[in-house]
Copies of this chain bind each other. A is one copy, B any other.
Amino acid sequence: MLANVYLIKKHEICTPLIYLNSNCRSNYCNIDVTFLGVNIYLKNISAASEMGDSEENEEDQTADNIGEKGERGPGQKHKKIGHRRVDSNTGAVSYKKIPASGLMEALQIGIGHSIGSIAPKATRDILMKDFSELEIVHFPALGTSTTPAHRCKDFIFKTYAPRAFKKFRKEFSIEADDFLVSLCTHRLKELSNPGASGSLFFLSHDDNFIIKTITRKEAIFLQKLLPGYYLNLTQNKKTTLPCFYGSFLYESMGKTIRICIMNNILPSNIKYHEKYDLKGSMYKRQASNKERMKSSPTLKDLDFLEEHPGGLILQPDLYDDLKRTLERDIRVLESFRIMDYSLLLGIHNISVNKQETLKSRKPNLETRPYSDQEIGYDQDYAKQVLDRIGSKRLKDNWKQDDSIPHGGTLAVNERGEKCLIFLGIIDILQSYRYYLYDRFMSHFLRLTIINYYENGE
């Protein structure tokens, strides 16, 4: 299959596919989510120590002709990416020319109504038809007997597969009440450095959920993906795939905006000393100088290799768990011909964090309105993390630390510095099957139309 992928990629598609290298050597098994030959280097700690921490950088240096996602010309760079515009005078953000603040308000009304109306319904078994269900509600500004009056323009709000997503939320142990409180009772924060996709990102006030705008194609693909996604969810509980909590469509004044709600892999109350978007390619996988100038840059594969030539070392149990989970997740992505996804990796360096003063650094995610939020560690959680870790050896090593933030996975880098890593697969809504199908159809139609007009048949 990989050969085909290469063929396609070379000619058509900008970013490479992550694949899973199953040739794992038993004694010294680095994490084998070998991104086109570049190991992420999450090593088995026991194996590493047995081998005296010697590093074997078996890097397959095969470069390919794959470029990054195209960025716009310098004149436009900060004004408009995709549908996202930033007014250079006021800094106000809009999406498809709809102001982000107004959109946020309408989304909160729509989501609140949708989640609130499905929550009390009796739970029943999920059926295949639930994955293609669509619920449509009109929200006139003056309100109706079932919808509230609001300050936005009249809009239509569609909920994709309400019952299926309700089931997903249940599987992810998200209570409807908490979900509504997180998303609808406080003002959302808009991420100011959302990446090159031109999507709008809203973050819930408690940092738990991300609302992302998606394209029509992505929304359609997400719907196709749902049954397989649910299959994975039932079988692979610890999945690192994005947690989809909902998919909606907002329609107003002839504009259509599709969104999905996901988990936040990198909660902003943690300080990330390093952040990586890993794809497994070596070609142009280096952060630009502009990116590096940011307070919290998102680095790439080559930067990771440079920074961590010895990789990150994990506790054996965690390593095995993570390896198995990633293998299973990637199998699902491969079966759907999903490409262009990344492994988002945030590293909180506990050792460094202790040395540096908090004031000397800015917080990680640039969020509004809480742009200068400081980092607070929850001491109670530190114990929970240690309890969750099975191995006594690593547990003992960590005992003296009294300021470990919650969440994440304990790891050690090659300099022996203790880290917490946060990771998850992102950007899974592109499939080259649909891409090719689209190209084929447009080509076919063009030929047909040309034939018709040129030859009269």
Contacts and interface: CB of A to CB of B under 8 A. Distances in A.
Interface of A: 124-129, 227-228, 230-232, 234-236, 328, 331-332, 335-336
B335 A231 contact: no
A228 to B, nearest CB: 4
A332 B332 CA distance: 25
B236 A127 contact: no
B236 A125 contact: yes
Number of copies: 2
A230 to B, nearest CB: 8
Contacts of A129: 335
A182 B402 CA distance: 62
Pick from A228, A231, A232, A331 the residue with the most CB of B within 10 Å: A231
Contacts of A124: 328, 331
A230 B126 CA distance: 11
Contacts of A332: 125, 127
Contacts of A125: 231-232, 235-236, 328, 331-332
A331 B235 CA distance: 23
B127 A335 contact: yes
A228 B227 CA distance: 9
A127 B235 CA distance: 10
A236 B331 CA distance: 26
Contacts of A331: 124-125, 127
B328 A231 contact: no
9 contacts: A125-B328, A126-B231, A127-B231, A127-B331, A127-B335, A128-B227, A129-B335, A227-B231, A230-B231
B335 A128 contact: yes
Contact of A231 (B128, B232, B235, B236): B128
Nearest to A328: B125
Nearest to A127: B335
A421 to B, nearest CB: 24
Contact of A126 (B126, B128, B235): B235
Contacts of A227: 128, 227, 231
Contacts of A231: 125-128, 227, 230
A70 to B, nearest CB: 32
